[in-house]
Chains A and B, each alone.
Chain A
Amino acid sequence: MSPMPSVVEAGRWLRDGETTAVRLLEGALQRAANCEAQIHAFLTIDRERALETAARADADLADGIDRGPLHGIPIALKDNMCTRGVETTAASQILAGYRPPYDATVVSRLGEGGAVVVGKTNLDEFAMGSSTENSAYGPTFNPWDITRVPGGSSGGSAAAVAVGSSVAALGSDTGGSIRQPAALCGVVGMKPTYGTVSRYGLIAFASSLDQIGPLTRTVEDSALTLEVIWGHDPLDATSYSGDYPDPKAGLDRGVAGLRVGVVKELSGEGYEPAVESAMGEMVSRLEGAGVEVVEVSLPSFEIALSAYYLIAPAECSANLARFDGIRYGHRGQGSPE
Chain B
Amino acid sequence: MPVEIDIEHVARLARLDLSAEELEGYKDQLGLILEHAARVQSLDAEPHAENAHPLGLFNSFRDDVVLPSLDRDEVLAAAPETAEGYFVVPPAMEGE
Contacts and interface: CB of A to CB of B under 8 A. Distances in A.
Interface of A: 98-102, 193-196, 234, 237-242, 300, 303, 306-307, 309-310, 325-331, 335-336
A108 to B, nearest CB: 14
15 contacts: A101-B71, A102-B70, A193-B54, A194-B53, A237-B59, A239-B60, A241-B60, A306-B37, A310-B40, A326-B80, A327-B79, A328-B80, A331-B80, A335-B90, A336-B15
B1 interface: no
A337 to B, nearest CB: 8
Contact of B80 (A195, A241, A329, A335): A329
Given A234-B62, A310-B36, A310-B40, A195 B75 contact: no
Contacts of A307: 40
Contact of B33 (A102, A195, A239, A309): A309
B26 interface: no
Contacts of A309: 33, 36
A217 to B, nearest CB: 27
Contact of A193 (B43, B55, B60, B79): B55
B39 A303 contact: yes
Interface string B42-85: 01000000000111010111100000001100110111110000
Contacts of B3: none
A223 to B, nearest CB: 19
B20 interface: no
B89 interface: yes
A241 B36 CA distance: 35
A101 B39 contact: no
Nearest to A306: B36
B76 to A, nearest CB: 9
Contacts of A100: 78
A329 B80 CA distance: 6
Interface residues of B, number: 27
Contact of A330 (B33, B39, B80): B80
Contacts of A327: 78-79, 87
What DSSP secondary structure best describes chain B's contact surface? loop
A328 B76 CA distance: 8
Given A102-B70, A237-B60, A303-B43, A328 B79 contact: yes
A336 B90 CA distance: 11
B83 to A, nearest CB: 13
A98 B40 CA distance: 39
Q: Which of A234, A241, A300, A326 has the most CB of B within 10 A?
A: A326
Contact of B57 (A195, A234, A303): A195
Nearest to A326: B89
A100 B15 CA distance: 31
Nearest to A305: B36
A240 B37 CA distance: 30
Contact of B40 (A194, A242, A303, A330): A303
Q: Which of B36, B61, B71 has the most CB of A within 10 A?
A: B36
A239 B33 CA distance: 32
B54 to A, nearest CB: 5
A303 B81 CA distance: 46
Given A303-B39, A307-B40, A309-B36, A194 B78 contact: no
Contacts of A237: 59-61
Interface string B5-40: 000000000010000000000000000010011011
Contacts of A336: 15
Given A237-B60, A306-B40, A336-B15, A101 B54 contact: no
A328 B77 CA distance: 8
Q: Which of A99, A239, A328, A330 has the most CB of B within 10 A?
A: A328
Contacts of A303: 39-40, 43
B37 A101 contact: no
B55 A240 contact: yes
Nearest to A99: B78
Nearest to B72: A101
A8 B75 CA distance: 39
